[in-house]
Amino acid sequence: MDSDKHVLLLNSTFEPLTVLRERRALKLIFEKKAYVVEDSGVFLHTVRHKLKLPSVVQLLYYVKKPYKKPKFSKKAIFIRDNFRCQYCKTYVSKPTIDHVIPKSKNGPTTWTNVVTACHKCNNKKGDRTLKESGMKLLKFPQTPKYIIIHGFSGTKNIKKWEKYFNPGEQKKSLTYNAHFSAALPVLEQNA
């Protein structure tokens, strides 16, 4: 996908719906069905006008969308984490997955316990908990919204649009690291 040709479409509630081509987003704006929330900084020059192209648009009316639970897979984990190691923050071309609570300590293979990791960090953490390894997570792993996995993979604007997906992410990350540091000794005693 060419990042300059795509626009994030938000519901009237600011919930991400899908990614549109610029042409479709402009049509929604001209038909007064949506308005620009954030522009791309790129201009479209016409004979009579100079228009700023949108990066994010919001519908003026609510659209009910059916909830579809995303399918769990390695690829989906990598896309959810934007191919970024959740320990050292580097972007990885050949990522691995890591169980936050190791499988050997009864850690489940679920959206909320599996993260993207580079080989170096995965080896460093090994079969240890966050507390044992002294490592911290970049963000709280959670079940992504269906749209993120199926609509946004490969879209370079995802970084710019992140605030529309997880508004309280930093706060959750701190809570998550503290939660696992406190919870792991209890889990280990029960194992």
Reading the chain (191 residues) residue by residue, the pLDDT tens digits are 344 578 989 999 988 888 888 999 999 999 999 999 998 888 888 898 888 899 999 999 999 987 777 889 998 899 889 899 999 999 999 999 999 999 999 999 999 999 999 999 999 999 999 999 999 999 889 988 765 545 555 555 666 787 877 654 433 333 333 333 333 333 333 33
Contact 25, 9 (CB under 8 A): yes
- CATH, range 74-155+169-184: 1.10.30
Contact 26, 54 (CB under 8 A): yes
Residues of the chain with CATH 1.10.30: 74-155+169-184
Q: What predicted TM-score, i.e. pTM, was given to this entire model?
A: 0.54
DSSP 77-108: HHHHTTTB-TTT--B-SS-EEEESS-GGGT--
